[in-house]
Amino acid sequence: MHSPRLPTTSGSDGSASDGTDSGDNNDSVSFDDCGDDPGWLCEKIYDLTGNGFLASTAGAFLTVLLIFVVAWIASRVVKRYLRKAVQRMIASEPSATTRDGLKRLGLDDSGDAELLGSSPDTASRRASRATSISFVLGGTVSVIIWTLAVLMALAELGLNLGPLIAGAGIAGVALGFGAQDLVKDCISGLFVLLEDQYGIGDVVDLGEAVGVVERITLRVTILRGLDGTVWHVPNGEVTRVGNLSQLWSVALVDLDVAYDSDLDQVGEILLNAAHEVCDTEEWSPIVIEEPKLLGVEALGADGITLRVTVKTKPGEQWALQREMRRHFKQVFDEAGIEIPFPQRTIWMRSGDE
């Protein structure tokens, strides 16, 4: 590091003097420590101390400190803004699209709070989604801000950033090839949260794994099957999602009757039996729409299949289906209606024939 050049003055005869006897002419000060174009801070420190090394070092140090302070403030402000923006977007009342969809299903705006997303459980789920998404987005923005701040600080200290950026680019390409599955999982997990494909407590079908969602992270979804098996499914491996408990569900019961049965009579008995179950005090709170008899579903080898459906609250369809089957069996027994079972005719011949 060079020592500061003393100010020079020009005499009346055109010769240059060393300026030791005219120290008042400091307005044209130029010294090597602060470069050819000295900054304001470096000049001020030099004016106060007269030490060029201290001026250049302190100026660079304070500039780096200022960069980090600005980066810290920007990171906090952006993360706070993102958190509020995501919470307003996700943890708000149901959108017009959701309400229109419920109307098309024959449900009123002022209907069930759980369907409209204003129940305590649904609000808690939305708050959890908002927290997860804002955490991910805020962390990503913070990494970008601090990376830029470090590069600016290194440049301020005089480090040549060309080789560093080139090396970082090569390392990024290598990391991208080596961890592409991890990146794929994280991106897929982010879209699962953004689109609310499923949440904790939902019963979902992810292909090989079917069960209740216990935990969702950016990389993996954890399910618990009906047999107690815990499935860890990488989000990048999920090619399709079947959510069995979102907004509403359908209890579907198929029942076989013999071919010689009176289908009109059987249909009337089935529909009345379904109403008897759905109108009870135990099951009426979970029923959204009245039971429907869809009619003949199939003509099988042993009997005729009739189908009954009931629209229920999310995840309540399985319990209602079990109760409806139990009651249908009782009603059919009382009415003498046969539920067919496989029958075969066997011909036996003796060896003489």
What are the residue ranges spanned by the domains of the chain?
64-178, 197-243, 249-335
Residue 59 has pLDDT above 80, yes or no: no
Per-residue confidence band for 9, with pLDDT thresholds at 50, 70 and 90? very low
Domain 197-243 fold is SH3 type barrels. (2.30.30)
CATH class belonging to 249-335? alpha beta
pLDDT in tens, 24-49: 444 444 445 555 555 566 666 666 66
234/217 Cα distance (integer angstroms):
9
Q: State percent of the chain over pLDDT 90.
A: 17
Residue 50 has pLDDT above 70, yes or no: no
Residue 132 has pLDDT above 50, yes or no: yes
> Which of 239, 240, 211 is closest to 315 using CA atoms?
211
Q: Are 233 and 223 in contact (CB under 8 A)?
A: yes
Asked whether the domain spanning 249-335 has the same topology as the one spanning 197-243, the reply is no
In this predicted model, which residue has the larger pLDDT, 108 or 251? 251
Q: Are 252 and 268 in contact (CB under 8 A)?
A: no
Structure tokens at 182: 């991890």
Per-residue pLDDT at 42: 65
Look at the chain and count its residues: 353
